[in-house]
Amino acid sequence: RKEVEQDPGPFNVPEGATVAFNCTYSNSASQSFFWYRQDCRKEPKLLMSVYSSGNEDGRFTAQLNRASQYISLLIRDSKLSDSATYLCVVNIPTSGTYKYIFGTGTRLKVLA
Amino acid sequence: GAVVSQHPSWVICKSGTSVKIECRSLDFQATTMFWYRQFPKQSLMLMATSNEGSKATYEQGVEKDKFLINHASLTLSTLTVTSAHPEDSSFYICSASRRPGVSYEQYFGPGTRLTVT
């Protein structure tokens, strides 16, 4: 089983739609969780951290379910500019330090 | 704040030569830096974790003698691809993380596109 799994998509949605992505992780010792956005041929940019109580930033809502070991990202009122690949990232402690594991990413295309 | 630079942004080299890529945290101290590789239409694959002043920890399947990592200061890490071959052509991205307890978020450099001919 992969450490972090995502549906690769693509998700094709019309402008204004609401879309949700899920991500599952296998290591129960994972401490921190993030959603990153990556545009084609660019580096990933932090979209938001994911907190246990759930958190919202404008049109974006992130949720964490530790019991089921998954996180989610909800995008409301999709814009054309939201088209990108969304990466689920999990921070895992290892050998006295920590590392980040990326999911494969979910491609989103918002259509006019 | 939290700017990470990477140099060069792209490089073309001949098979058998070595290439050095620099990663710098410009406005913060990075205890830990990470090196990733991304092939077309794939996600980022962690190559190694680099802590300042100590040897890098390599992921399974990554040859430490081929991908030399040096993290000499809290603001600079370098990745040297030795005896590069065409299959090493990829997008190499570094990231830096502040000291634990301040933030676990990592900040990415803009990446280096390596083409080996």
Q: Is the per-residue pLDDT at B78 higher than 80?
A: yes
Nearest to B20 by CA among B84, B90, B78: B78
pLDDT score at B55: 84
pLDDT score at A92: 82
* Structure token digits, residue A38: 């990556």
pLDDT digits (tens, 9 = 90+) for B5-32: 999 999 999 999 999 999 999 988 888 8
B49 and A104 in contact by Cβ < 8 A? no
Q: Name the helix (H) or strand (E) containing A104.
A: none
Are B96 and B105 within 8 A, CB to CB? no
Are A99 and B49 within 8 A, CB to CB? yes
Cis amide bond preceding B40, omega within 30:
no
User: What is the C-alpha to C-alpha distance for residues B99 and B97, in angstroms, rounded to an integer?
Assistant: 7
Whether residue B95 lies within 8 A of chain A, CB to CB, comes out as: yes
Contacts of A99 in chain B (CB under 8 A): 34, 46, 49, 57
DSSP state of B56: P
Helix (H, G, I), strand (E, B) or coil at B86: helix
Helix (H, G, I), strand (E, B) or coil at A3: coil
DSSP state of B55: P
Please name the amino acid found at residue B115. Answer: T
A1-to-A27, A67, A76, B41 alpha-carbon distances in Å: 10, 18, 31, 21
Out of B51, B105, B111, the one facing A43 most closely (by C-beta) is B111
Tell me whether residue A68 is exposed, middle or buried, using C-beta atoms within 10 angstroms of its C-beta: 0 to 12, 13 to 18, 19 or more.
Answer: exposed
Q: Name the helix (H) or strand (E) containing B89.
A: none
Helix (H, G, I), strand (E, B) or coil at A81: helix
Are B50 and B62 within 8 A, CB to CB? no
Contacts of B34 in chain A (CB under 8 A): 99-100
Helix (H, G, I), strand (E, B) or coil at A72: strand
Calculate the CA dihedral of residues A64, A70, A74, A79 and round it to 10 degrees.
130
Cβ partners under 8 Å of residue B64, min gap 6:
B48, B56, B58
Contacts of A5 in chain B (CB under 8 A): none
| pLDDT > 70 fraction of chain B, expressed in percent and rounded | 94
pLDDT digits (tens, 9 = 90+) for A20-78: 999 999 988 888 899 999 998 888 998 998 988 889 999 999 999 999 999 999 999 99
**φ, ψ dihedrals at B86, nearest 5°:** -50, -35
Neighbours of B79 (CB within 10 A): 25
Q: Is the per-residue pLDDT at B50 higher than 80?
A: yes
